[in-house]
């Protein structure tokens, strides 16, 4: 018996770059470098650990929906140790919101075949964190989200969710969808051997027709959410310098009180 693990990953703009919106109020991805979302690296890591600790044969497939450059995110995951990748690319996907993305991912996951779907807790660009739950609903399987510890025993997924006041021990029968947090364990760094091996691993390319989806179901036109307007963040201003000439402590206290920090 083989354990089929699908990891959903996203190619996102580098948070250290100069990010801005395009004329259609979508994120302009052409003028900034992209990379595998850092939070998705934790999902890849947990998938690899489950695969390595499984008594059954396990296969890890990484799946992304995005433009041509999104292959870079897949290659990073493959170099970490994933077995194969699926890239859903179609011009009509431009502007798809989280609900539409969950539809595309669900169709691709069903086509690929799965026992367990693992996602990061959120993407580092949209930061909505709703796709795992939407996926579970579309697939009709249990969801166990925001786990800081996860394992598979037989046909059951088990994990720990840490809250502000307590930790919960959760489990669900497979097939299931889980998401993991950035506390689940540091993601491994791709080795040179892994990077070279990734070049030979299969990457399947699918479009909307492969998933029996119509253009009207996705993209800006099919989105349930709409961005009405955007405003650039104001330029950072010079900070306030308090010179201590005997009254520094008082001035600092007055400044903090004026900002309602104290």
Kindly tell me if the per-residue pLDDT of 161 is higher than 70: yes
For residue 1, pLDDT over 70 is answered with no
Helix 71-80 vs helix 38-53: crossing angle, to nearest 10: 40
Predicted confidence (pLDDT) per residue in 31-53, tens digit: 778 899 999 999 999 999 999 99
Q: Are 180 and 118 in contact (CB under 8 A)?
A: yes
Average pLDDT, the chain: 91
Alpha-carbon gap, residue 197 to 190, rounded angstroms: 10
pTM, two decimal places: 0.86
CB count in 10 Å sphere of residue 149: 17
Q: Is 91 exposed, middle or buried (0-12, 13-18, 19+ CB in 10 A)?
A: exposed
pLDDT the model gives residue 121: 94
- Give me the residues paired with residue 152 across strands: 157
pLDDT of residue 104: 97
Q: What is the pLDDT of residue 118?
A: 97
Taking the CB of residue 162, how many other CB atoms lie within 10 A of it?
A: 14
Which of the 8 DSSP states describes residue 23?
T
What is the share, in percent, of the chain residues with pLDDT greater than 90? 67
Task: Tally helices (H) and strands (E) across the chain.
Answer: 6, 12
Instruction: Give pLDDT tens digits for 193-202.
Output: 999 999 999 9
Q: Which two tokens stand for residue 88?
A: 């859903």
- Which residues share a beta bridge with 167? 162
Q: Is the pLDDT of residue 92 over 80?
A: yes
Q: Which residues, 6 or more positions from 43, have their beta carbon under 8 angstroms from its beta carbon?
A: 7, 8, 9, 118, 119, 120, 179, 180
């Amino acid at each position: 018996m083989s354990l089929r693990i699908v990891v959903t990953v996203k190619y996102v703009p580098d948070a250290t770059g100069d990010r801005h919106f395009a004329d259609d109020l979508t994120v302009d991805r052409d003028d900034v470098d992209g990379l595998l979302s850092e939070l998705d690296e934790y999902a890849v890591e947990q998938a690899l650990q489950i695969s390595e600790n499984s008594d059954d044969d396990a296969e890890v497939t990484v799946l992304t929906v995005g433009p041509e450059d999104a292959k870079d995110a897949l290659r990073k995951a493959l170099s970490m140790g994933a077995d194969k990748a699926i890239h859903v690319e179609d011009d009509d996907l431009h502007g798809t919101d989280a609900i539409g993305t969950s539809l595309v991912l669900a169709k691709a996951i069903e086509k690929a075949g799965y026992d367990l779907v693992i996602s990061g807790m959120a993407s580092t660009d949209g930061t909505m964190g709703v796709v795992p739950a939407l996926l579970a609903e579309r697939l009709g399987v249990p969801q166990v989200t925001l786990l800081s510890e996860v394992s598979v025993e037989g046909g059951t997924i088990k994990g720990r969710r840490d809250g502000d006041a307590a930790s919960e021990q959760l489990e669900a029968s497979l097939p299931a969808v889980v998401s993991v947090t950035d506390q689940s364990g540091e993601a491994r760094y791709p080795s040179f051997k892994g990077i070279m091996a990734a070049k030979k691993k299969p990457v399947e390319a699918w479009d909307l027709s492969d998933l029996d989806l119509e253009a009207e179901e996705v993209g800006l036109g099919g989105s349930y959410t709409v961005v009405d307007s955007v405003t650039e963040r104001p330029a950072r201003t010079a900070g306030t310098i308090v010179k201590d000439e005997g009254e520094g402590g008082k001035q600092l206290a007055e400044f903090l009180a004026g900002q309602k920090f104290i």
